[in-house]
Structure 1
Amino acid sequence: MTILGIGLMSGTSLDGVDAALIEISDTDSQTNYKIAGQYSEPFPTKIRAMLHQLCEPSSARIEKISSMNAYLGNMYAGIVNKTLKKYHRSSDELSFISSHGQTIFHQPTMNQTDELDIPNTLQIGDISALSYHTDTPVVGNFRVADIAARGQGAPLVSYVDHLLFREDKKDVAVQNIGGIGNVTYLPPKLSQSEPVSFDTGPGNMLIDQLVSRFTNGKLAYDSEGEIASTGSTSQQLLKWLMQEPYLSREYPKTTGRELFGHTYVNHILATGEKLGLKMPDIIRTVTEWTAETIAFHYRQLNPASPVSKVIIGGGGSRNPVLMNDLRQKLTGSQFLSHDDFGIDNQIKEAMAFAILGYKRLTGDYNQLPVFTGAKSSVIMGEVACNTKNAFKKVHRFYDLK
């Protein structure tokens, strides 16, 4: 039996929402999928600015968080309906929606100075509103289940990477460069080594913020690496950046805007000013540092030889300056994109969350403790089912068992 679902993803770059329309089925203990459509919608400028404020503890206000939670739930519903209309599919055909939500805070470790400040994470985008306005069951709030099991709550797409990309004889690194960089490292199946997954450090997050400052908000990112290409790398600034303590932490580990946010950008700018650097030089240096954080971790993962295959995804894969830096640092590795596997780079993570949501509704584990550091496997995702018709759709999954 084939199930039609939609996965929704809005990442730490805060640039918009991607929807993946997916047909999924299970045969012989194997999950099969087909991408049936896709749709992307950028956040309006005002909403993006507000999300940036909500991700900063110094500017976030509780009433604005609550309001944005409701707003995004309604916006996601509109995106689902637009996706169905684009591909001439009816709401009755749609069996489920799987929504990552928008992360505004992520603290996977205990605050040692405050016993009440325990590991936690918050993704907003009200799944009840999304269910009601689409007449469909919605799976969301994935990360909290892994954190409850003492995991990092991330990276989650690594579970799907493991299903899709692991090979018998070659090691593979699946590298996403979104707001944050994260890798799923897959040793050969025939080896005795375990796969691992973790955040490598900043992806586009710092570059985007620096570009916004440099252009007084006129540009949100460095298109084609044009600004970086006019600058030169400062070895002094690069050396200072490589002293970031996160890089030497043991994995599994995760990070986010809580570390690499506005305050971090201020420190970079202050250090660059002391060194007498112009803004293009700072952006160029941070671009190379982003590549170096990835290469640094790969050398730790496999010090004896280059990683055989590197599958690159995320917005950073469209920055030729960043990609050229990465290729120079990872000589000997074969570089591939998700497009080489028939997966549009733009919606890869939305597709992955569709699979995670499907697994939740079939009652299967959809996380691997080896990736997140959790003490046990869990079935991630909470379900909102707010109409009679949505409840009937849930019963479709009972027929799969």
Structure 2
Amino acid sequence: MIERVVVGLMSGTSLDGVDAACCLIRRDGKTIRDYDVTVESFVTREYDPDFRERLERVCSDGGTVAEACRLNVELGAVFADAAVAAASAANRELATVDAIGSHGQTVRHEPEPRSLPVGDERRRSTLQIGDGSYIAERTGVTTVADFRTADVAVGGHGAPLVPFADLALLADDESFRVAQNIGGIGNCTALPPGAGRDDVTAFDTGPGNMVIDGVVELLTGGERTYDRDGRMAREGTVDEDVLEDALDEAYFRAEPPKSTGREQFGRGYAREFVATCRDRNRSDADIVATATALTARSIADAYERFLSEEPDEIVVSGGGAYNATLLDMLGAEVDAPVRTIDEYGVGSDTKEAAAFALLAAAALDGVPNNVPGATGADRPVVMGKRCPPT
């Protein structure tokens, strides 16, 4: 048996902070499902408002290359401090931590292939910041970072990456489970009974919390950045006409593999969404309710369009798992029980950070850690650049 202590770091499209999970990872066998993950601690480091604004500006094309360069290092420092805090919370000395796995912060993700400057070759592109070498130097721990680019290099989207962890944590020999993460973006992993790597289907379903959060922030003048427990949405009425128009977006009809992000469903989308609802004299609560329904119905619509059969259960993780109104709306749209991943021994908040701990462990083991059926890659590859401390 191989046993490693790995801290996983995740900063998502919501831009609210970095999550860090210190994990004990065991591997007893040669398949993905032979990995076992125990989360020993979990901490979150929220970004202060000014830092978050700088990140959002860079992520929305409003920043400069110089600013992205500075944030690359500054984020490395924030990530390193979060990793140290997670190890401390697990009563681990840094010397006993085998690796840090860092997703980084996505500042640009272009899943549609573009022509390269020379020749006829076309490639997708993606860019994450939060320098792995800086994290390694600041902590003294080997850091595995920049996972997405290896998948993109072999023709994939570089997303979603969490299906590797979904397969290890949630695959079952009897049930057809769908792991539904609702972070800034929603993504699902379909796990048929007895699934292995080649049996998995996964893709981004569309907006998760991103449109909801963006709408709430705009409506409250920045006083709130999310709808706590779905309280605003629960007080409102869904505008079905606005919802149906929104669901006519081409992304929802596109066949997997597919991925999306802030470029499509970010601040500009939220502004247009609010303006459309205002033109129809909708209240603030109605607008939030309609944005919440967009997430729920787009998820259900994705299952109906793209899954081979109806799931036996849906396992939700991410911040959306704490939005009771969203879960109720999703439950009303699907014919399967909706549960949270907490029922399976992993916290809803911790799953993505734990996933990057697992991805880093696999990289150190030399185990291919992408899922081509999810990303569209030509073949399995080992993702993640290893950055040892000097």
Quick check: which has more Rg, 1 or 2?
1
Q: CA deviation at 1:343?
A: 0.7
Q: CA deviation at 1:350?
A: 0.7
Query: What is the match of residue 332 of structure 2?
Result: 328
Identity of aligned residues (%): 35
Query: What is the match of residue 147 of structure 2?
Result: 142
Mapped to 1, the partners of 2:296 and 2:247 lie a distance apart of: 11
Deviations 1:52-81 (A, max 9, x none): 111111x12111111111101011111122
Deviations 1:76-135 (A, max 9, x none): 111122222223221211111110011111002224798798411111101111000111
Mapped to 1, the partners of 2:142 and 2:44 lie a distance apart of: 21
Give the secondary-structure state (helix, strand or coil) at the position aligned to 1:173: strand
Q: Which moved more, 1:341-350 or 1:163-172?
A: 163-172
Mapped to 1, the partners of 2:184 and 2:356 lie a distance apart of: 17
Query: What is the match of residue 50 of structure 2?
Result: 46
Query: What is the match of residue 353 of structure 2?
Result: 350
Query: What is the match of residue 89 of structure 2?
Result: 86
- Correspondence list, 1:1-400, <5 A: 1-29=2-30, 30-57=34-61, 59-111=62-114, 118-189=123-194, 194-302=199-307, 306-331=310-335, 333-387=336-390
Give the secondary-structure state (helix, strand or coil) at the position aligned to 1:108: strand
* Amino acid in the other structure paired with 1:159: F
Q: CA deviation at 1:23?
A: 1.3
* Amino acid in the other structure paired with 1:325: M
RMSD across aligned C-alpha pairs, in angstroms? 1.9
1:169–1:190 CA contact under 8 A, matched in 2: no
Give the secondary-structure state (helix, strand or coil) at the position aligned to 2:187: strand
Mapped to 2, the partners of 1:224 and 1:93 lie a distance apart of: 38
Mapped to 2, the partners of 1:369 and 1:325 lie a distance apart of: 31
2:181–2:316 CA contact under 8 A, matched in 1: yes
Mapped to 1, the partners of 2:312 and 2:111 lie a distance apart of: 31
User: Under a length normalisation based on structure 2, what TM-score does the superposition of the two structures give?
Assistant: 0.94
2:171–2:194 CA contact under 8 A, matched in 1: yes
- In structure 2, the CA distance between the partners of 1:85 and 1:302, relative to structure 1 (3 Å rule), is closer
Give the secondary-structure state (helix, strand or coil) at the position aligned to 2:21: strand
- In structure 2, the CA distance between the partners of 1:171 and 1:71, relative to structure 1 (3 Å rule), is same
What residue ranges of structure 2 are gaps of 5+ in the alignment?
A: none
* Amino acid in the other structure paired with 2:131: D
Q: CA deviation at 1:300?
A: 2.0
Q: CA deviation at 1:268?
A: 1.4
- In structure 2, the CA distance between the partners of 1:33 and 1:261, relative to structure 1 (3 Å rule), is closer
Q: Which moved more, 1:211-220 or 1:224-233?
A: 224-233
- In structure 2, the CA distance between the partners of 1:248 and 1:209, relative to structure 1 (3 Å rule), is same
Give the secondary-structure state (helix, strand or coil) at the position aligned to 1:81: helix
Give the secondary-structure state (helix, strand or coil) at the position aligned to 2:112: coil
Mapped to 2, the partners of 1:303 and 1:95 lie a distance apart of: 40
* Amino acid in the other structure paired with 1:128: S
* Amino acid in the other structure paired with 1:51: L
What residue ranges of structure 1 are gaps of 5+ in the alignment?
A: 388-401
Q: CA deviation at 1:190?
A: 7.9
Give the secondary-structure state (helix, strand or coil) at the position aligned to 1:104: strand
Mapped to 2, the partners of 1:146 and 1:312 lie a distance apart of: 25
User: Under a length normalisation based on structure 1, what TM-score does the superposition of the two structures give?
Assistant: 0.91
Mapped to 1, the partners of 2:176 and 2:249 lie a distance apart of: 28
Q: Which moved more, 1:351-360 or 1:83-92?
A: 83-92
Q: Which moved more, 1:32-41 or 1:174-183?
A: 32-41
- In structure 2, the CA distance between the partners of 1:85 and 1:190, relative to structure 1 (3 Å rule), is closer
Query: What is the match of residue 390 of structure 1?
Result: none
Mapped to 2, the partners of 1:113 and 1:87 lie a distance apart of: 46
Give the secondary-structure state (helix, strand or coil) at the position aligned to 1:350: helix
